[in-house]
A and B are shown apart, each in its own frame.
Chain A
């Protein structure tokens, strides 16, 4: 009943307020060797818009790559050495925009915003001059030059498919034994809850590795999404995420009274948060603080960010160790809870 009446309310609020494709307050980096009047006012204007927030000022082109790998920066604005001089003497200057296109939608939106701001500036300074100034913006899409949507949705779908399949598979296992009555004799045996729970997880882990393999093969050979990072690391992280999902499923299973309840819980309690809060459909950064906090307990969020880093950006464990640790923590927590919640009696 609560679900029936509460669901629409929650959904309207979440969809209406929190989940927008608009990109606000994106962190950008500035490389401005010229530091003249023109660049300063251009930067000030960018910062004045609600879309950008200057996070870092860098001093050399070498720094660009590393800050993107850290993942905080979505866009870098690079000015040439003599921006104002070029503009004054040749009426022409260049700005380079480098965007993190592992999320093509965000990259596209950001470069459009940036270009608009620059054009706006260009028009303003041209007004009282006879000769028009032209500022050329040159764009570079990092990691995903063709802005392929698959780069974004493959990691997201991986997270979703693994989570749903694994959780639902295991969610019904223990409940099914309760319904079939087999749990009744299983309990009157020396089997410990730990052993039963683990024994339930192992076969599904094997099945899930087949899933992982098929998803990766399809991504690479059908969707042309490259695996830029280490395959071993990617597989390891995927297995870790699978385990987290299996543990979640087992937790649901040890609590639920019927297979139907188990299915329903895994669908409602996992599917929606995964779709909405993992960052795959809607950027988490723009959500209000409460939702951003909630998104932290969605395992798919961390896995999604790991896959994007490893698969698309091609970076190693050193960049995703935090996410990895969080997933390991979740695994231990859910598995422990599942074992603890396992009922050693019938009622």
Chain B
């Protein structure tokens, strides 16, 4: 059985005069136990989608089911079995770490002991601070606590709305490792993120922009479908180089990528041509061919 099925969902905000369309006819399916990533920039509609799936908002059009339950009709049943971690830190800031966990265990009619094995890996990291107020935790620890609270009732589907936004690189990595471990527990996880580099950590990713899904595939599939050559170029004057890259007819696109600039070659042009073009400029540069990664694919998809 599919864990989450979204069928042609549309969501609009605002009154008659000013209508903002958050989602336009979105459809996708998530298998049981899958780690499904929804990648998109801020304002793409990720949060709206999550709120519709967690029964917090009603969609104007379309249907969706979670665990086979309709998000409108069976909202009560869904609320019992999903775990939700909103994008904004939403625990009780003036309760301690332990109190928050106990509280959420209680409202889900369970106890911390009952499902301790599930959250042990995560919770043990923040347990030394269990008497600290939740509002006083660091960003990474807040996320770990929020995840523990979302998991305390052993949900069958976990919704994580931008869990790594505002979290340092190390904590982000740790967080994704935790998600991979949770997958072993047969928990379906939907996670949204604005960071494209996190896409490769998912089983399947949907790229969303302006309320529309641009592609749904496995990270490998996304890369495979790219089909263009990419050259990585570096020079002492990166700004100048980027301007030159943008100017030439040889390229489809050029954008900064870490310490290099990525230059996407048009089908008819070759790396040698680009090299020749750059040699006419009066600065030293370094050029090499590189494998496209998922970020290159998304850049291309979002450009079209």
* A contact set with B: CB distance below 8 Å: 180-182, 184-191, 344-347
Contact = CB atoms under 8 A, between A and B. Distances in A.
7 contacts: A180-B90, A181-B90, A182-B91, A184-B88, A188-B55, A188-B82, A190-B76
Contacts of A344: 75
Contacts of A182: 90-92
Contacts of B58: 345, 347
Given A181-B89, A345-B55, A347-B57, A190 B84 contact: no
A190 B109 contact: yes
A202 to B, nearest CB: 15
Contacts of B150: 185
A contact patch SS: loop
Contact of B80 (A185, A190, A345, A347): A190
Given A187-B56, A190-B109, 20 more contacts: A182-B92, A184-B86, A185-B84, A185-B85, A185-B86, A185-B149, A185-B150, A188-B79, A188-B82, A188-B84, A189-B104, A189-B107, A190-B76, A190-B79, A190-B80, A190-B108, A345-B55, A345-B56, A346-B57, A347-B57
B93 interface: yes
B10 interface: no
A188 B56 contact: yes
B188 interface: no
B63 interface: no
A187 to B, nearest CB: 6
A347 B90 CA distance: 17
Nearest to B80: A190
Contacts of A347: 57-58
B91 A187 contact: no
B51 A181 contact: no
A184 B90 contact: yes
A325 B165 CA distance: 55
Contacts of B79: 187-190
B3 interface: no
Nearest to A187: B56
A180 B93 contact: yes
B108 A188 contact: no
Contacts of B80: 189-190
A346 B107 contact: no
B96 to A, nearest CB: 15
Nearest to A346: B56
Interface in B273-298: none
Interface residues of B, number: 26
B42 to A, nearest CB: 17
Contacts of B85: 185
B89 A186 contact: no
A184 B109 contact: no
Contacts of B93: 180
B215 to A, nearest CB: 29
B54 interface: yes
B57 A185 contact: no
A188 B158 CA distance: 11
A187, A188, A347: which has the most chain B beta carbons within 10 Å? A188
Contacts of B82: 188
Nearest to A181: B90
B51 A346 contact: yes
A181 B57 contact: no
A40 B171 CA distance: 96
Given A180-B90, A181-B88, A189 B108 contact: yes
B245 to A, nearest CB: 43
Given A188-B84, A190-B80, A190-B108, A345 B57 contact: yes
Nearest to A182: B90
A180 B150 CA distance: 17
A189 B55 CA distance: 11
A182 B100 CA distance: 11
Contacts of A188: 54-56, 79, 82, 84
Nearest to A344: B75
Interface string B116-139: 000000000000000000000000
B90 to A, nearest CB: 4
A191 B107 contact: yes
A189 B76 CA distance: 8
A293 to B, nearest CB: 36
A345 B58 CA distance: 8
A188 B53 CA distance: 10
A191 B93 CA distance: 20
Contacts of B54: 188
A182 B146 CA distance: 11
A186 B107 contact: yes
Interface string B207-233: 000000000000000000000000000
Contacts of A345: 55-58
A189 B80 CA distance: 6
B107 A190 contact: yes
Contacts of A191: 107
A191 B109 CA distance: 9
Interface in B125-174: 149-150
Contacts of A184: 56, 84, 86, 88, 90
A275 to B, nearest CB: 34
Instruction: Return the 4 tightest CB-CB contacts between A and B, nearest first.
Output: A181-B90, A188-B84, A346-B56, A181-B88
Contacts of A186: 107
A184 B47 CA distance: 12
A344 B92 CA distance: 20
Contacts of A187: 55-56, 79
B256 to A, nearest CB: 35
Interface string B45-85: 00000010011111000000000000000011001101011
Of B54, B82, B108, B149, the most chain A CB neighbours within 10 A belong to: B54
